Structure 1
Amino acid sequence: LTYRESHFALELLHNSNLVTSMDIVEVNPLIDHNNDTAEQAVGLVGSFFGETLL
C-alpha cells in the first residue's frame, strides 16, 4: 500500500465502527532519519482515530 492508500484504509476502518482495538509497533529512533517514520506513524494513527488526510 502507498501512504495515501494506508490513510484511506484506516479512515474506512474508523468509519465502519467495527474495530475495537489497534496494535501499534514501536518506531526505532536510532534508524529513523529526520523523524520521518515517526511522523508517518502519527499520521496513520490519526487517520484511524478519525482525522482526514486533507
Structure 2
Amino acid sequence: MINGTISKDYLFNSPSYASAFLLGMNTNGKTDWKIKEGITLKELEESEIQE
C-alpha cells in the first residue's frame, strides 16, 4: 500500500480479514461490508438463502 492506495490485487480468506486490513483493527466483515444501498454482507447472504 502506498499513500493509502492499494497498488495490486489482494485475495483475503474472509470478509473479516479484508475489513481488518482496511480498517486496521479487528472487525466483523459480514456486518461492516455494505453495498451502496446500505445492506450488509450478512443481510445480503441471508436474503439469498431464503430465496
Tell me the TM-score normalized by structure 2. 0.32
Larger RCO: Structure 1 or Structure 2 (Cα < 8 Å, ≥ 6 residues apart)?
1
Larger % of helix: which?
Answer: 1
Query: Which has the larger Rg?
Result: 2
